[in-house]
Structure 1
Amino acid sequence: MRTTQQLSVTLPTEMAQAVKEKVRSGEYASESEVIRDGLRALLARDRAVDNWLLQQVGPAYDALRADPSRALTADGIRARLAAKHAGKTKA
């Protein structure tokens, strides 16, 4: 049973040249390897975003819904950032 599938991909000229340059430089053995590595990076990024949403954003949202008094106003956030920035710029 075949474990690969051939696809036809159309890329903008700049991207196609970048792929070819990766092969020309010896960084990759083939254009297919460049595309596979890029897709692996995309899938890893998608997994990282999904994990962040599940492990941090979701629980923070649930906590805020359970206790709305934990919310910060936009003015409160700006004040915190300004104070933090002022503390870093003082020398």
Structure 2
Amino acid sequence: MSTMNISLPDALKSFVDDQVSPRGYSTCSECVRELIRKDQDRQHLRGLLLAGAESVPTAPVDGDYFESLRARANRGI
């Protein structure tokens, strides 16, 4: 694992320090790593949403469509 030193304004450092124990982190570094992972997930989801928005619809979105999605979700597909 690599090391990175960062500088934070006092308010951000206090925020991170205050998050460690109540959220179950052992260290400030663990908390910051989790924040970075969440941002990665957010960016990935945004990319998927944008790709979906740019895609051409292939089937009508009606009650049957949503019912088939529910059925697939219930089957774990």
What stretches of structure 1 move > 3 A for 4+ residues in a row? none
Which residue of the partner structure matches residue 29 of structure 2?
A: 32
* Cα distance in 2 between the residues matched to 1:50 and 1:12: 30
**1:55: which partner in 2?**
52
Structure 2 portions without partners, runs of 5+:
58-77
AA matched with 1:13: D
Cα offset, 1:12, TM superposition: 1.7
Mapped partners of 1:34, 1:23: distance in 2: 6
Q: Output the CA distance in 1 between the equivalents of 2:14 and 2:26.
A: 15
Q: What TM-score results when the alignment is normalised by the length of structure 2?
A: 0.65
3-state SS of paired residue (1:8) = coil
Say whether residues 1:13 and 2:28 are aligned partners. Answer: no
Larger Rg: 1
Structure 1: stretches of 5+ with no match in the other structure: 64-91
Number of aligned residues: 57
Alignment partner, residue 40 of structure 2: 43
Q: Work out the CA distance in 2 between the residues paired with 1:18 and 1:55.
A: 36
Higher helix share: 1
